Amino acid sequence: MSEFRVLIVDDEIDFLETLVKRLKKRKLDAVGVASGEKALDILDRERFDVVILDVRMPGLDGIETLKEIKRRTPLTEVIMLTGHASVESGMQGMQSGAFDYVIKPAGIDDLIEKLNQARERKLLHEERIRSDRKVP
Amino acid sequence: MRKESGPTGRCPDIDITPYPIEEPGQSRLRLFQVLITLLPAALAIPLFLCAGPIYALLALSVAAVSFMVAGYYIGRIARANEQKCKLDLQLIQSQKLAAIGELSSGIAHEINNPLAIIGQEVEWMKHLMKEAGCGSNTPVGGMSEFNDSLIEIGRQVDRCREITHKLLDFARKKEPLIQAVDMNRLIEDMAKLVEKEARQRNVLIERNYQADLPLVRTDPPLLRQVVLNLLNNANWAIEDRGVITISTMRAGKNAVEFMVSDTGCGIPPENLDKIFDPFFTTKPPGKGTGLGLSICHGIISKLGGSISVDSEVGKGTTFTVHLPAETTKGNN
Ligand SMILES: Nc1ncnc2c1ncn2[C@@H]1O[C@H](COP(=O)(O)OP(=O)(O)OP(=O)(O)O)[C@@H](O)[C@H]1O
Ligand SMILES: [Mg+2]
């Protein structure tokens, strides 16, 4: 199986770096970027399985970034991760195709389990599309 | 003058209200019970006259026994009848929703394209304004008002877009992606999200999770959407001070159930069969689209489950979601 690639998007640099380090320690190929725009940029060039996305960011915010990711690459799964939980944005996030909406601080084990589930979903999705193509 | 309907109206009325379902006919069944009892009871009189009191007593006890036996069976028939009515109602509800879904997704599609163009034109006009040196931060004469108008148009276009997207979502025929899910955890995640805002209004969330719940094979993000919608509705229904109770439980061998109860305003009986309709809302304009519960209903049917409501005005409301649990297939 190819490597599990995770993109983390958060404008809080300290948080971003710590999370990347911790995920790498768990043998995930984690990359961090600090804005929605940069996330879309790197997603255009590289393949990621799951994106962890902060909700509140200056510039392109989390929900807008999520919508754009889902428009460009619908198979990429996105987990929203936020310190400022609001029901409104949670509903918007789930509505716009997020896999999950998680409140900070989230334990690393919890997060990894969610990442695995999100990745499982992506694989299922790919599998379905492949089998749909076979049967006309 | 406007006419609501009638043969001269331009658009034909589409009647999608459920046809009236007959009451189980409880009273008629009870009459039957009395008749069955009266027969041996009436026999008691001639028996008393011809064969003596012993035989009359016998006839009376036969009457008593038949009263009880008939009562038992009639109760069972009535219950079965009631269940059938409930299923019929559910079926009608689903068909109605499917029909509305079909119609509204058609409309949403048609509206989406012009909407996209309006949005683009607004962006273009904003761009032109900026080029001409009268962007939003240069209040040159009437131009600042012009700019405000543009921004408002953009905002309203966004609002329309949100609604059409929700509608398309509601009618979407995408097949769910099935994964093994720990339902208690999934629900708890969403409860935490609502809890902060609830607590600010003195609304407590009580948990009643069954510990050894089997894993559910379902589509996790879709289920999260349902839970979040129900919790949000419950939270909204409580004005100030109240309790939202979340329970999960096994329901028979191959199913699980979860309930969201609130001590809020309740739903008047005449609204009960409308709340799952798209666009039915009692919230003030602009506050709710009335799509929440119809989306929930659509998702739960897609997941092979059912959703029902129980409510009393002034006391509160309970939504119950029933989902199949395929424990035998294990957890992938
Ligand atoms: N827990 C509840 N208690 C009382 N009334 C409720 C409850 N849940 C739903 N309702 C009633 O059902 C209506 C429809 O609910 P639904 O979730 O579909 O739409 P909404 O909440 O009005 O709008 P939206 O979900 O789009 O913001 C509500 O307007 C309300 O009148
Ligand atoms: Mg609602």
pLDDT-derived band at B306, boundaries 50, 70, 90: very high
Q: In ligand 1, which atom is closest to the CA atom of B264?
A: 3
Other Cβ atoms closer than 10 A to B118 = 16
**Over the stretch B239-258, which tens digit does the pLDDT of each residue have?**
989 999 999 999 988 899 99
Which residue in A25, A80, A92, A73 sits closest to A51, CA to CA? A80
**Residue B209: pLDDT over 60:** yes
DSSP string computed for A52-120: EEES--SSS-HHHHHHHHHHH-TTSEEEEEESS--HHHHHHHHHTT-SEEEESS--HHHHHHHHHHHHH
Least confident span in A22-36, B228-242, B276-290: B276-290
Q: What is the mean pLDDT of residues A65-85?
A: 91
Which residues lie across from B308 on neighbouring strands? B320
Are the CB atoms for B227 and B295 separated by under 8 Å? no
B332 touches chain A (CB under 8 A): yes
Q: What is the mean pLDDT of residues A42-58?
A: 95
Q: What is the mean pLDDT of residues A23-32?
A: 95
Percent of chain B with pLDDT strictly greater than 90 = 41
Give the pLDDT score at B139. Answer: 55
Half-sphere exposure of B171 toward its Cβ, with a 13 Å CA cutoff?
21
Element (DSSP H or E) covering residue B188: helix B183-200
Which residue in B64, B18, B73 sits closest to B41, CA to CA? B64
Residue B25 to residues B29, B31, B66, B71, Cα–Cα distance (Å): 6, 10, 21, 14
Give the pLDDT score at B4. Answer: 36
**Over the stretch A89-119, which tens digit does the pLDDT of each residue have?**
999 999 889 999 999 888 999 999 999 999 9
B292 Cβ closer than 6 Å to some ligand 1 atom: yes
Q: d(Cα B199, Cα B92) in Å, to the nearest integer?
A: 39
Among the partner-chain residues B177, B189, B224, the one whose CB lies closest to the CB of A125 is: B177
Q: d(Cα B90, Cα B108) in Å, to the nearest integer?
A: 26
Q: Write out the two tokens for B122.
A: 């607004």
Q: Give the list of residues 6+ apart from residue B55 with CB closer than 8 angstroms, or none.
A: B47, B48
Sheet holding A29-33, edge to edge: A29-33, A5-9, A50-54, A77-82, A100-103
Q: What is the mean pLDDT of residues B217-222?
A: 95
- Planar angle of CA A121, A123, A125, nearest 5 degrees: 70
Give the pLDDT score at A74. Answer: 85
pLDDT-derived band at B198, boundaries 50, 70, 90: very high
Q: d(Cα A19, Cα A13) in Å, to the nearest integer?
A: 10
Are the CB atoms for B25 and B74 separated by under 8 Å? no
Q: Write out the two tokens for B7.
A: 């043969």
List CB contacts (< 8 A) between A104 and chain B.
none
Q: Write out the two tokens for B124.
A: 């273009």
Q: Tally the residues of chain B.
A: 332
**Residue B100: pLDDT over 80:** no
Residue A94 to residue B224, Cβ atoms within 8 A: yes
Tell me the average pLDDT of chain A. Answer: 92
**Residue B162: pLDDT over 70:** yes
**B288: DSSP letter:** -
Q: Is pLDDT larger for residue B95 or for residue A104?
A: A104
pLDDT-derived band at A39, boundaries 50, 70, 90: very high
A116 touches chain B (CB under 8 A): no
**If 0-12 CB within 10 Å is exposed, 13-18 middle and 19+ buried, where does residue B24 land?**
middle
Q: What is the mean pLDDT of residues B49-77?
A: 86
Among the partner-chain residues B175, B193, B224, the one whose CB lies closest to the CB of A85 is: B193
pLDDT-derived band at B25, boundaries 50, 70, 90: low
Closest chain A C-alpha to B161 CA, distance in angstroms: 12
Give the pLDDT score at B285. Answer: 79
CA dihedral A116, A122, A126, A129 (to 10 degrees): 140
Q: Whose CA is nearest to atom 5 of ligand 1?
A: B267
Are the CB atoms for A62 and A54 separated by under 8 Å? yes
**Residue B92: pLDDT over 80:** no
Q: pTM above the 0.90 mark?
A: no
B315 Cβ closer than 6 Å to some ligand 1 atom: no
pLDDT-derived band at A28, boundaries 50, 70, 90: very high
Residue A95 to residue B177, Cβ atoms within 8 A: no
Give the pLDDT score at B35. Answer: 85
pLDDT-derived band at B136, boundaries 50, 70, 90: low
Which residue in A60, A66, A64, A94 sits closest to A7, CA to CA? A66
Q: Write out the two tokens for B152.
A: 């408002």
Give the pLDDT score at B140. Answer: 57
Q: d(Cα B45, Cα B193) in Å, to the nearest integer?
A: 74
Give the pLDDT score at A1. Answer: 53
**Residue B331: pLDDT over 70:** no
Tell me the average pLDDT of chain B. Answer: 83
Q: d(Cα A77, Cα A92) in Å, to the nearest integer?
A: 16
Ligand 1 pocket test target in B104, B227, B233, B235 with most atoms within 8 Å of CB: B233
**Residue B237: pLDDT over 80:** yes
